Amino acid sequence: MKRLAALFVLTLLCLPVAARAQNSAPAAQPTASAPSGSAPAQGRKKRVAVFDFDYATVRTSTAALFGTDIDVGKGIADLLVKNLVTDGTYSVIERKALDKILAEQNFSNSDRANPASAAKIGKILGLDAIIVGSITEFGNETKNTKLGGGGGGLGGFGIGGFGHKDSKANVQLDARLVDIDTAEILGVAEGKGQSKRSSTSLLGGGGNWHGFGGGSADFGSSDFQQTIIGEAVKAATDEMTAGVIAAAPKLQARVIKVEGVVAAVDGGQIVLNIGSKTGIKVGDHMSVERVTSTIKDPTTGAVLRKMTTKLGELEVTDVDEISAVCKPVNGTGFKIGDVAKTVTQ
């Protein structure tokens, strides 16, 4: 009996331990799986610019469609920019800043699809990549039952047309994501769009769409996108946009080493002799140092090293192409000639 009683007591003592072990096991599982579900740390957005698409191969057909030479390449580029900004994967440079640099560099229409030429512009703007592209199809196929009893044919680009029973608009685009440093094509995106409608022309059904002005067309307007060709343009651009966004992981954010000097100290503002051309932007932090001595090679006289003392840190509050205005974050006594530098993305 004593032996049985001892076994009974021992069993009672072991049960809570087993229960605690069983209860603790499920609790450990979420802890182990949590890291796989956590979002990875995100760096800054990659900076890109979209160049006007080359439309040389479809220039004749688009001129016939609109009745004059319209820069449909600009219209496609603007629509792609709108899509990318809405998505938010990339940081897209403003059109005004891009146009200014293009004018300064005498960037011609023939350079639109040239990766090497575009990469040069991208470096000046401090971008990570540029997007160039081409329009390879922009037209329609019209079947007219009043001409030859239903015979099909290509053409019919005129505004309004006549006798159209079935109109089909076709648009095909391709875009290339180009590395700034190597001009290497990192990714390719294509877009195809088609729209069909009966008893109307390619530009019909657009409500109050007035077409174009100043040699360009607003492809983003709701009126244009209600036309047959507008529906095809939107479908093709949306598909191409998805491809450009999917190529984002192939692009590495460039690390930019920037160094300049203090050009002026005006109250609480410090002006540097470097600007957006070097890649700095509003919000960047700059370390300010003062050169205390210069070490030269005694045999050649070449500068080996500059010994410096850190004075403080600045934050960029305003920037143009050749200068930047900063405010002190910490430190005092900044003077003209002090060195300002940073390693920034």
CB hemisphere CA count around 310 (13 angstroms): 9
Residue 118 reports pLDDT greater than 60: yes
Residue carrying the six token digits 């109250």: 267
**73 or 321, which is more confident?**
73
Most confident of 101-110, 149-158, 236-245: 236-245
d(CA 94, CA 282): 14
- Specify the 3-state DSSP secondary structure of 270: strand
At 153 the pLDDT is 36
Mean pLDDT across the chain: 77
Alpha helices (H) in the chain, listed in sequence order: 2-37, 59-66, 72-87, 95-104, 115-124, 222-225, 228-246
Residue 171 near residue 230, CB atoms below 8 Å? no
**Exposed / middle / buried, residue 262 (Cβ in 10 Å: 0-12, 13-18, 19+):** buried
Q: Tell me: the pLDDT tens digits for 132-186?
A: 999 999 986 545 544 433 333 333 344 444 444 577 889 999 999 999 888 899 9
User: In the predicted model, what is the mean pLDDT of residues 33-47?
Assistant: 50
Answer positive or negative: Cα dihedral of 212, 214, 218, 219.
Answer: positive
Which residue type sits at 89?
Answer: T
Task: Give the per-residue pLDDT at 11.
Answer: 46
Contact 132, 118 (CB under 8 A): yes
Give the range among 91-105, 142-156, 250-264, 298-312 with minimum mean pLDDT. Answer: 142-156
Q: What is the mean pLDDT of residues 49-59?
A: 92
Residues 328/314, Cβ–Cβ less than 8 Å:
yes
Cβ-proximal residues to 200 (8 Å cutoff; 6+ apart), any chain: 164, 167, 228
- Span 192-239, pLDDT tens digits: 999 887 766 677 655 555 555 556 677 888 778 888 888 999 999 999
- Local structure of 16: helix, strand or coil: helix
Same fold flag, 46-145+154-250 and 256-344: no
Token pair for 147: 């001409």
The reported pTM is 0.61
What superfamily would CATH give domain 46-145+154-250? ABC-type transport auxiliary lipoprotein component (3.40.50.10610)
pLDDT at 13: 44
* Contact between 168 and 139 (Cβ < 8 Å): no
Select from 137, 130, 138 the least CA-distant residue to 80: 130
Q: What percent of the chain has pLDDT over 70?
A: 73
Tokens of 33: 């799986």
Question: Percent of the chain, pLDDT > 90?
Answer: 38
Question: What are the residue ranges spanned by the domains of the chain?
Answer: 46-145+154-250, 256-344
- In the CATH hierarchy, which fold is given to the domain comprising 256-344? Thrombin, subunit H (2.40.10)
Task: Answer whether residue 9 shows pLDDT above 50.
Answer: no
Residue 249 gets which letter from DSSP?
A: G
Phi and psi torsions of 188, nearest 5°: -125, 135
Burial 157-181 (b: 16+ CB within 10 A, else e): beeebeebebbbbbbbbbbbbbbbe
User: Helix, strand, or coil here: 182?
Assistant: coil
Q: Is the pLDDT of residue 63 over 80?
A: yes
